[in-house]
C-alpha cells in the first residue's frame, strides 16, 4: 500500500471546507464578516479622503497667506 500524506491532507481539508461551505450557518457568518470588513474599509477610505482634503485645504491657505 502506498502512503500519500499530501493526498490525505488535501482530502481532509477539502472535505472540511466542503462541509463548512454547504452549511447555511457558516455561510451566513462568512457573509456577515465580509460585510463588516467591507464597511470598515469603506469607512477608513472615507476618513482618509476627508483627512486628505483637510490637508489640501491647509496647504492652499498657507500658499494664500504667503502671497
Residue 10 lies in a domain: no
Count the alpha carbons within 13 Å of 50 in the hemisphere toward its beta carbon. Answer: 6
Residue 28 lies in a domain: yes
Number of domains in the chain: 1
Cβ contact 28:34 at 8 Å: no
Residue 54 lies in a domain: yes
Count the alpha carbons within 13 Å of 59 in the hemisphere toward its beta carbon. Answer: 6
44/38 Cα distance (integer angstroms): 10
Ranges of H-type helices in the chain: 5-22, 24-66
Residue 6 lies in a domain: no
pLDDT tens readout for residues 1-55: 577 889 989 999 999 999 888 999 988 998 999 999 999 999 999 999 999 999 9
Whether pTM > 0.85 for this model: the answer is no
Amino acid at each position: 500500500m502506498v502512503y500519500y500524506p499530501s493526498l490525505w491532507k488535501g482530502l481532509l481539508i477539502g472535505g472540511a471546507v466542503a462541509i463548512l461551505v454547504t452549511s447555511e450557518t457558516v455561510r451566513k457568518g462568512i457573509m456577515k464578516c465580509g460585510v463588516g470588513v467591507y464597511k470598515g474599509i469603506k469607512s477608513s477610505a472615507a476618513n482618509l479622503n476627508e483627512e486628505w482634503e483637510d490637508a489640501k485645504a491647509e496647504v492652499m491657505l498657507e500658499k494664500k497667506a504667503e502671497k
